[in-house]
Amino acid sequence: MNAILEQFRAFGAGRLTAIFGLAVGVAAALVYFSGAVSGGSQALLYSGLDPAEAASTSEVLDQANISYEIREGGTAIYVDREQVDEARVRLASSGPLNGASVGYEIFDRQDSFGQTSFVQNINAKRALEGELARTIQSLAFVNSARVHLNLPERRLFTRDQQDPTAAVTISSGQRLNSEQVRVIRNIVASGAGLEPGNISLSDDRGRVLANAMEDGAAGTAYMDERRAEIETAMRQNILDIVEGVVGPGAARVQVTADLNRQSVTQSSETFDPEGSVLLSRERSEDISNDQDGNRNRVSASENLPDAAGEAGNEGPSSVSTRETSSETVNYRLSSTTRTEVIEAGAVERLSVAVAVDGIVDLQEDGSTVWRERPQAQIDQIEALVRSAMGYAESRGDSLTVRQIEFARADPLLGTPATSGFSFSKNDLMRVAEIIVLFVTALLIIFLVARPLVKGASGAPMPQGLALAGAGAGAQPAVAAAPPPAALPAGGGAAGALPAVDQNDSIDIEKIDGQVKASSLKKVANIVESHPEESISILRSWLHEG
């Protein structure tokens, strides 16, 4: 402990102050940069907030005495990691944010007594829109969503009723495919009782994903995606076949597909005159009898007396019979009714272009020579491509296979140099942190560690280790050291040895590798007489060395 205290006294107050100040500064820098590298103790509370939402959230956090930081242009709020749960509970207890969707909880905090039907209908519409928006936001590929419903009021004694419609706006970091678009439209249609064709869908970048009054299967997004899928799949199939013949990288394929974008429904009914079937048969007969005679004659003489006797003497009468028959037969011809629905998305026409590279021969000097492939091989490639693409002349398909020399880099020129690299803001900050840490380490080594090591090497030696009893290892050091000069006699000032006579000095000119015993004895006597002054001189020599 005394040695350490002596070492600190040897440094002096100024040097100790500089060392400890530098150590404190280095420790603070290490703590700061280690916190910056590890991300600090702040955790994300909410992100993607509107300015109004951020303002309301900050007010609640201020009332709860929770420290926070607003980052990312005012759209994200960070709090201490240990207070994230508490902050979320506080915000949840204060109700939804200003910009957040309102669900059916709107009816929990309002007194429905005294409200008009108009206000209740508006609240019901808001609640339905909020619940639909929350359901859409629960999807992994949707960041935020807003739903607007148009629910027309049904009026009595009205013949034409307007259909309800909806408009949905979503925010997503990716382009939605047709399946994801159908999922969102079906959620709104099922939740609000709408037809999927009455729902329009768009994103935050102003792109229409599905138009209203447009079938989901025939939408623009679906058609573009289906066309890209058909072209990509067919291009890959053709490229695999061609490269299997000419080699990898020796073929280029381009496919263009024209799709039918209209849905058509056709109905037809065909009658077969040869396929008649008896449906019904009806027969009717009519028989009538007519009799003609004197009894049928009426005259004035019949009403006279004695007319009865005369009437009995009349002649015979004539009778006629009439018979009529008819038959009705009904036949039904066989008919065929056919309804054909042609959905959109069918391939109407294909155009395929194939470019084939020739044969490249490498010469002895390293140069290349290009030559054409045989025409028979090109014809075989064309036949393979026709089969792979499903070539149909009836729909106007076109196929072009050409042999052409591809542009390639000269192998003698080597590979092109890279265009360099660029640093982002995070990369620059990381490099700056590494440089600061490196400089700090150098300062610690040269300004803290090195003085401590040098000070430890100059600690006072015990008096028992006298120079007179030093071994052969100490003799060269004593011999090489310069003779003490200006040593006062008796009790001179500290740090100086008493002066000696010229005859008592060590004659180093006649030393042949060893110190004379008499001279060494004199030096040992002087050191034993003045140990503290000798140690001070040796320490100063070590520091100078």
List per-block mean pLDDT (blocks of 10 residues) for the chain, which spans 545 residues: 67 70 72 58 76 80 86 82 83 63 67 73 86 88 88 76 87 82 89 86 84 57 80 93 91 92 83 79 80 58 58 58 82 83 85 92 81 92 93 92 82 55 68 79 72 58 39 39 42 42 47 57 78 81 74
What sign results for the dihedral spanned by CA atoms 357, 358, 363, 368? negative
- Rounded CA-CA distance 313/318 in Å is 16
- The pairing of beta strand 76-80 with beta strand 144-150: unpaired
Give pLDDT, residue 385: 94
Q: Which residues pair with 326 in a beta bridge?
A: 284
Give pLDDT, residue 402: 92
**479: Cα separation from own chain's centroid:** 79
- Rounded CA-CA distance 506/124 in Å is 113
Of 246, 226, 166, 249, nearest to 202 (Cα)? 166
For every residue of 417-485, DSSP letters joined together read PP------HHHHHHHHHHHHHHHHHHHHIIIIIHHHHHHHHTPPPPTTS-STT--TTTHHHHHHSPPP-
- Rounded CA-CA distance 146/140 in Å is 16
User: DSSP 3-state assignment of 98?
Assistant: coil
Total-model pTM: 0.42
- Rounded CA-CA distance 90/74 in Å is 20
Of 205, 200, 234, 204, nearest to 220 (Cα)? 200
Write b or e for each residue in 430-468: b if 16 or more Cβ atoms lie within 10 A of its Cβ, otherwise e.
eeeeeeebeebeebbeeebeebeeebeebebeeeeebbe
Structure tokens at 20: 């400890």
User: DSSP 3-state assignment of 344?
Assistant: coil
User: DSSP 3-state assignment of 287?
Assistant: strand
Q: Which residues contact 519 (CB under 8 A, 6 or more apart)?
A: 506, 507
Q: Is 470 exposed, middle or buried (0-12, 13-18, 19+ CB in 10 A)?
A: middle
* Helix/strand number for the chain, H first, E second: 14, 14
Give pLDDT, residue 345: 79
Structure tokens at 71: 């980052």
